[in-house]
Amino acid sequence: MAPHLALHAFRSSAPKRWDVTTFAKACKAAGFVGAQMSISDNRDISSDITHAIGSNDLRLIVDMGFDVGQTSPTFEDIKTPSEHFKSFELELKKISALGEVVSHINCRNSGDHRWDEATSIEYFSDVLSLSAEFLEDHPHIGRFGREVDVMGGSPHHLTGISYQTCRPGVLSHPTKTRQLLEILPPIRLTSDISQWYPAVDYTWGFLNAIENGEEETVDFLRLDIVPHIDHMHAQFDFENKNGSILESQMELLRYVWERKAKRRVNEVSITPFIGDTDCGKYADANDERMWKNTLKAADQIRHFVETWSTTTCC
Q: Do the beta carbons of residue 130 and residue 88 sit within 8 Å?
A: yes
Give CA–CA dist 228/11, Å, rounded.
Answer: 25
Is the CA virtual torsion 87, 89, 95, 97 positive or negative?
Answer: negative
Q: How would you label 259-281 residue by residue, b for 16+ Cβ within 10 Å and e otherwise? A: bbbebebebbbbbbbbeeeeeee
Q: Do the beta carbons of residue 124 and residue 187 sit within 8 Å?
A: yes
Task: Note the pLDDT of residue 183.
Answer: 94
- How many angstroms separate the first and last alpha carbons of the chain? 6
SS3 232: strand
Beta bridge partners of 104: 61
**Taking residues 212-236, what's their average pLDDT?**
81
Which listed CATH number (3.20.20.150, 3.40.50.150, 3.90.1150.10, 2.60.40.420) goes with 4-311?
Answer: 3.20.20.150
Phi–psi pair at 120, nearest 5 degrees: -65, -40
Pairs from 176-179 (Cβ < 8 Å, separation ≥ 24):
176/117, 176/120, 177/225, 178/220, 178/224, 178/225, 179/117
Task: Note the pLDDT of residue 184.
Answer: 93
Question: Does the pLDDT at position 152 exceed 90?
Answer: no
Alpha-carbon distance values, 7 to 37, 61, 155 (Å): 14, 11, 24
Global pTM value: 0.88
Residues 6+ apart with CB under 8 A from 65: 38, 40, 75, 108, 109
Question: At 192, is the pLDDT very low, low, confident or very high (cuts 50, 70, 90)?
Answer: confident
Per-residue pLDDT of 37-67, as tens digits, reads 987 765 666 888 999 999 999 999 999 875 4
Q: What is the mean pLDDT of the chain?
A: 82
Per-residue pLDDT of 87-113, as tens digits, reads 899 999 999 999 999 999 999 878 888
**Taking residues 19-25, what's their average pLDDT?**
95
Burial class (CB in 10 A: 0-12, 13-18, 19+), 306: exposed
SS3 60: strand
Q: How would you label 15-52 residue by residue, b for 16+ Cβ within 10 Å and e otherwise? A: beebebbebbebbbeeebbbbbbbbbeeebeeeebbeb
Amino acid at 1: M
